Amino acid sequence: MALPAGQKRLALRLLNLEAEYTVLTAINPTTRTYEEDARIKELDFLCLAHGLPSEVKNNVLEYYIPGLEPVDITDPANHDRPTWCTDDEAEFLYWRHTRFIFRTDDLTRTNLDNKINAAQTFIQNNLRSTTHPARLFYMQPKKKIIFEIYLKIDLSVGGAAEIDDENLEALWRLLELLDGEMGHLQLKFIWKNDMNPNDVSAATKREVGANNSGPFTAIKQNLLAIVLAAARHYTTCMHAPATVNPITRWARYLSPTTATDPATTDAQRFAFARDWSTLRVSGQG
C-alpha cells in the first residue's frame, strides 16, 4: 500500500525526513546501494505508520526515530504553524499529529515563570481554543502534553529518589492552567546524569520503567501513585464550589486561620497548596 504523493510529502515533513528522502530518491535506482534502497523502504514505512491511530503511531515512531523530538510549548516560537504548512490540511495534520512537551530538563527557579507564561499562552490559543484550525479542544482521547519528572538519587538516605521542587511546582502550575484535567498530561519519570548540568542531550537521560518494565518499575509506580494522588487532591480543591466552607476546602493544606484570613488571596492559598503537595511528593508519602 502506498500513500499518494501529496500525503507522503506531508508525512515526511511532519517527521522531519523530507530532505533525506529527497536525496535518496534522487539517486539513480540502478546505482543505489542496498543500504540506500533499504532506507527508502524504511522511510516509506514510517510515512504509512504516521497515519496509524495515535496510541500505535507514537510507539512505532519513537522506536524507529528515537531522535524525533516533541514540540516544546514553553518556547513561544513553537506556538505558530511552521512555514511549510501552506494550507489548512497541512496545518490541521501538523497540530493533530505533533507531540507536545513542557520542557523541564533545563528548568530553573529563574526561568520557571517564563515557561509557565508561555505554556499558558499555548494552552489558551492552541490547546483549549474552540476556534483553533486543528480543533485540539475537541480531540478524543485528549491531546496530551508530555511532562518529564527528573529523578536524582540521594545516597545519604539509602538511594531514595529525589525530585527538585521546581520540577514539581511546574507540574502543579501546569495542571492549574489545564483546569485540573490530568487527561491532558503524559507523565514520564527520567533518570538524569548530572555530571554536566548543561548537557541536556538525549544521551544523558533514561526513562524509568518505560513500558512498565525494567528493574525500576516499582519506583516509578510508587512515585506515580503519589504524584497522581497529590494532583487529584489539588484538582478537587481547585474545583470546589463557592458554597464549600473555606476551612473544609483548604483543610488538607492550610490551618483554619490561614484558610479564612481575608488578607490571604486564593492565589496565595494555591501557592501554599503547591508547597504542601511538593513536600508530600518529595518525601514520597
Going by their DSSP bridges, the two strands 185-192 and 205-207 should be labelled as: antiparallel
In angstroms, the CA 22 to CA 217 distance is 42
Cell digits of residue 142: 485528549
Instruction: Report pLDDT digits (tens) over 55-66.
Output: 677 666 666 666
Cβ-contact 172, 181 below 8 angstroms: no
The DSSP bridge partners found for residue 222 are: none
In angstroms, the CA 284 to CA 149 distance is 14
| Residue 89 CA: distances (Å) to CA of 6, 92, 97, 134 | 11, 5, 12, 9
Instruction: Report pLDDT digits (tens) over 209-248.
Output: 887 787 778 878 888 898 999 999 999 999 999 899 999 9
Buried b (16+ CB within 10 A) or exposed e, 33-52: eeeeeeebeebbebbbbbee
Cell digits of residue 264: 490571604
Q: What is the pLDDT of residue 158?
A: 53
The average pLDDT across 31-44 equals 89
19-33, 35-49, 84-98, 147-161: the lowest-pLDDT one: 147-161
pTM over 0.85: no
Average confidence score pLDDT of the chain: 86
> Is residue 154 helix, strand or coil?
strand
Q: Is 72 exposed, middle or buried (0-12, 13-18, 19+ CB in 10 A)?
A: buried
The average pLDDT across 120-132 equals 95
Going by their DSSP bridges, the two strands 145-154 and 71-72 should be labelled as: unpaired
Instruction: Report pLDDT digits (tens) over 168-215.
Output: 999 999 999 999 999 999 999 988 766 666 666 667 788 888 877 877
For residues 69 and 137, which has the higher predicted lDDT (pLDDT)? 137
| Residue 201 CA: distances (Å) to CA of 65, 106, 194, 233 | 15, 11, 11, 34
In angstroms, the CA 224 to CA 238 distance is 21
In angstroms, the CA 167 to CA 163 distance is 7
Q: What is the pLDDT of residue 155?
A: 47
Give residue 264's Cα distance to chain centre: 33
Q: What is the pLDDT of residue 173?
A: 95
Cell digits of residue 227: 504524584
Select from 7, 70, 98 the least CA-distant residue to 44. 7
Q: What is the pLDDT of residue 178?
A: 94
Cell digits of residue 219: 519506583
Domain spans of the chain? 1-68, 69-282
φ/ψ of 126, rounded to 5, equals -120, -65
In angstroms, the CA 64 to CA 42 distance is 9
For residues 113 and 42, which has the higher predicted lDDT (pLDDT)? 113
Residue indicated by cell numbers 554536566:
196
